[in-house]
Amino acid sequence: MPVRILSWNIFNFAKSLWSKAEETTRVLELLHPAGNDPAYDVFVIIEPVCKRAPVGDVAEGSGPDGAVQLLAKLRARHNGRFWRAITPLCIYAKQRKGKGEAVCVLYNSRTVAFVGPDTRVPGGDEWETLTAREGTLHWVDQTTLPHSLVEGELHQGRGAVASFGIDPKSSCIEPATPHLYWMDHRAQGLSRCDLDGANVTQVLSCLSARSPSQCVPAPGVGEVYWVDASTHAIWSTAAPSGASTLRVAGAAAGQPVDLRVAGGQLFWIEGASGSIRRADLDGQNVTDVVSAMGAGGPRDLTVIGGNLAWVATATQSIRALDTVSMTVQDLVLTAVAGTPRSLGAHLHMLYWVDGASGEIRGYDVSSSTAATVVATAGGPAGLLVAPSGLYWDDGNDIHRANLDGSHPGSIIAVGGAPRGLHEGNGVLYWVNPANDIYRANPDGTGQALCVAAADAGQPRWLGTDNARLYWVDAGTARTVRHANLDGSHPDALPAIGGAVCAHSTNGLFWVDGMTGAIWSSALDGTGATLRVSAADAGAPVALAVSDTDLYWADASRQELRAAPLATYVAATCVASADAGQPTSLAVSNRSDKLYWVDGATHTIRQAELDGSTPEDFVEAAAAGQPTCLTVGHDHDFVSWVDSASNELRWTPTGDGDAVQVLVAGAQAGMPGPHRVAPGDSYDPQLLTNVLGGALNWRILNERESCPFLVQFKDLSSGHLFNLVAQHAPSPTYGGTNLNRKARDGVSELLTQDVFDGTDPVTRIVYVGDLNLCGVPNPTTAPECTNDDADGHSLDRGVLQSFTNAPVSMTLVQSAVRSSLKKGRAVWDQYREHAYDNIIAKGHVAAANAHVIDLVAGVLADYRFTKGLGPTDPIADNVFNSKSIFLKIRLGKTSGISDHLPVTADFTY
Reply yes or no on whether the pLDDT at 559 is more than 90. Answer: yes
What CA–CA distances, in Å, run from 73 to 11, 29, 34, 765? 20, 11, 11, 27
More confident residue, 727 or 688: 727
pLDDT beyond 70 at 190: no
Q: Which of 28-32, 361-365, 601-605, 705-709 bottoms out in mean pLDDT, i.e. has the lowest?
A: 705-709
When mean pLDDT is compared over 453-457, 651-655, 848-852, the highest value belongs to: 848-852
Task: Tell me the average pLDDT across 376-383.
Answer: 75
What local confidence, expressed as pLDDT, does residue 791 receive? 64
Q: What is the pLDDT of residues 88-119, one digit of tens each?
A: 766 765 555 567 788 888 999 889 987 776 53
CB 888 within 8 A of CB 879: no
| CA angle 275–280–282, rounded 5-degree value | 125
pLDDT tens figures, 205-259:
554 435 566 777 776 667 778 887 767 888 887 655 555 667 888 888 999 999 9
Q: Phi first, then psi: what are they for 349, rounded to 5°? A: -110, 135
Query: What is the overall mean pLDDT for the chain?
Result: 76
Q: Which of 50-54, 572-576, 699-703 is the least confident region?
A: 699-703
pLDDT band for position 486 (cuts 50, 70, 90): confident
> pLDDT value at position 178?
65
CA 730 from chain centre, in angstroms, equals 38
Mean pLDDT of 824-842: 84
* pTM for this prediction: 0.45
Per-residue pLDDT at 491:
67
535-676 CATH: 2.120.10.30
Chain region(s) in the chain for CATH 2.120.10.30: 131-330, 535-676
Rounded distance between C-alpha atoms, residue 799 and residue 561, angstroms:
67
Quick: pLDDT tens for 495-535: 445 567 777 678 888 877 556 788 888 877 777 788 998 78
Q: For position 478, what pLDDT does the model report?
A: 60
307-328 tens-digit pLDDT = 899 999 999 999 998 877 888 8
271: left (phi over 0), alpha (psi -120 to 50) or beta: alpha
Highest mean pLDDT among 494-503, 666-675, 683-692, 764-773: 764-773
Task: Answer yes or no: is pLDDT of 881 > 70.
Answer: yes
For 497, phi then psi, to 5°, come to: -170, 0
Stronger pLDDT, 358 or 708, i.e. the higher one: 358
Strand-pair partners of 237 = 224, 244
> Which pLDDT belongs to residue 111?
92
Which segments of 112-221 are extended strands (E)? 112-116, 137-141, 166-174, 179-184, 189-194, 201-205, 212-218
Which residue did the predictor score with more confidence, 221 or 170? 221
Average pLDDT rounded to a whole number, residues 412-424: 84
DSSP 51-114: E---TTSBP-SHHHHHHHHHHHHHHTSTTGGGEEEEEEEEEE---STTEEEEEEEEEETTTEEE
Residue of 4, 2, 14 lying closest to 104 (CA atoms): 14
- Beta-bridge partner residues of 512: 496
Tell which residue, 839, 850, 835, has the closest CA to residue 897: 835
Residue 11 pLDDT level (bands cut at 50, 70, 90): confident
Segment (H or E) for 597: strand 593-598
Q: What is the pLDDT of residue 197?
A: 56
Most confident of 363-367, 484-488, 844-848, 887-891: 844-848
Chain centroid to Cα 550, Å, comes to 31
Lowest mean pLDDT, pick from 393-402, 417-426, 876-885: 417-426
Mean pLDDT of 696-704: 40
Distances (CA, A) of 402 to 209, 305, 399: 43, 20, 11
Q: If DSSP codes are grouped into helix, strand and coil, which group holds residue 528?
A: coil
In this structure, the strands spanning 708-714 and 720-726 are: antiparallel
| pLDDT over 70 percentage in the chain | 72
Q: Across-strand partners of 262?
A: 265
Look at 436 and 141; give whichever has higher pLDDT.
436
CA angle 343, 349, 352 (to 5 degrees): 25
Q: Kindly list the distances between the CA atom of residue 837 and the CA atoms of 88, 324, 766, 895, in Å, as whole numbers in the listed order.
A: 21, 56, 8, 22
Which has the higher per-residue pLDDT, 135 or 171? 171
pLDDT (tens digit per residue) in 124-167: 222 222 222 223 344 444 433 222 222 222 222 222 223 334 44
Amino acid symbol at 494: P
Q: What mean pLDDT do residues 38-49 have?
A: 92
The pLDDT of residue 360: 93
Alpha helices by DSSP H, 261-320: 292-295
**Backbone torsions φ then ψ of 681, nearest 5 degrees:** -100, 120
Instruction: Give the fold, CATH level 3, of 131-330.
Output: Neuraminidase (2.120.10)
Residue 879 or residue 115, greater confidence: 879
